[in-house]
């Protein structure tokens, strides 16, 4: 155990914006994000605004977790066997927020949707983000230990898409296994690694 305390995120507007900023800042360095938004000057801002939709949607369809210092965020969705309901007006908001990058986002998210497993209720780790200056201190591990203990107790499997080989290694250490072949996030884009975890006894 890491000794880091993971908590349900507070739901005030300022807290929602803060955690969206954490996600945008952390994700801006990912190779996938660089593919989706090549412009370094606007990448974090666009990601923050776009992913805030998922932060809000987790309120009624999953769980938003953070640490006591609010330096990390995990967005989990509980997914019925038929799939997670779409966020209302999502495509319109995506076009407004992402602007000229909306086409790449649409292709990327279509590929995610195509590969997402159906037929069994599970939890989906959509976002796991740690502020850059706090990375390497065990926050990601603490998030996984916290939520996976809950899923084991409730006997739910989990699914995610690892964004690179480094994060894939982290998830492998926590009981995830590859779920089919890696796939490109878009034409000429980096690979994503779908992963599935059965609950531990």
Domain spans in the chain, listed from the N-terminal domain onward: 6-197
pLDDT of residue 7: 96
pLDDT tens digits, 128-137: 999 999 999 9
In the chain, the N- to C-terminal Cα span, in Å, equals 18
pLDDT of residue 13: 81
Q: How confident is the model at residue 59 (pLDDT cuts 50, 70, 90)?
A: confident
Mean pLDDT throughout 16-41? 97
**Tokens encoding 38:** 């090549």
Q: Check pLDDT > 90 for residue 111.
A: yes
**89's torsion region: left (phi>0), alpha (psi -120 to 50) or beta?**
left
For tokens 């072949």, what's the residue? 181
Q: Check pLDDT > 90 for residue 107.
A: yes
pLDDT of residue 1: 53
Cα–Cα distance list, 5 to 9, 70, 141 (Å): 12, 11, 11
- Alpha-carbon Rg for the chain in angstroms: 16
Give dist(CA 151, CA 153) in Å, integer.
Answer: 5
pLDDT of residue 11: 82
pLDDT of residue 2: 66
**Tokens encoding 46:** 């666009």
Give dist(CA 10, CA 125) in Å, integer.
Answer: 19
Mean pLDDT throughout 118-125? 97
Reference 57, options 91, 90, 99; nearest CA is 90
pLDDT tens digits, 38-55: 999 999 999 999 999 999
For residue 123, report the phi and psi dihedrals to the nearest 5 degrees.
Answer: -105, 140
* From 39-48, 83-92, 145-154, 177-186, the region with the lowest mean pLDDT: 83-92
Quote the CATH superfamily of domain 6-197.
Answer: Gcn5-related N-acetyltransferase (GNAT) (3.40.630.30)
Strand partners, 160: 125, 195
């Amino acid at each position: 155990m890491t000794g880091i305390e993971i908590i349900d995120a507070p739901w005030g507007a300022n807290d929602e914006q803060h955690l969206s900023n954490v996600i945008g800042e952390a994700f801006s360095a990912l190779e996938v994000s660089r593919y989706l938004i090549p412009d370094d000057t606007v990448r974090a801002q666009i990601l923050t605004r776009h992913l805030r939709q998922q932060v809000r949607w987790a309120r009624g369809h999953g769980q938003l977790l953070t640490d006591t210092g609010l330096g990390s965020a995990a967005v989990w969705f509980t997914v019925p066997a038929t799939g997670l309901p779409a966020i209302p007006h999502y495509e319109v908001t995506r076009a407004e927020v992402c602007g000229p990058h909306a086409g790449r986002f649409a292709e990327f998210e279509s590929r995610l949707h195509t590969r997402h497993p159906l037929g069994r209720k599970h939890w989906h780790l959509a976002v796991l983000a740690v502020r850059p200056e706090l990375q390497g201190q065990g926050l990601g591990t603490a998030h996984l230990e916290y939520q996976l203990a809950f899923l084991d107790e409730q006997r739910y499997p989990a699914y995610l898409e690892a964004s690179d080989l480094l994060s894939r290694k982290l998830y492998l250490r926590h009981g995830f296994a590859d779920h089919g072949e890696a796939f490109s996030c878009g034409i000429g884009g980096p690979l994503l690694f779908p992963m599935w975890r059965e609950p531990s006894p």
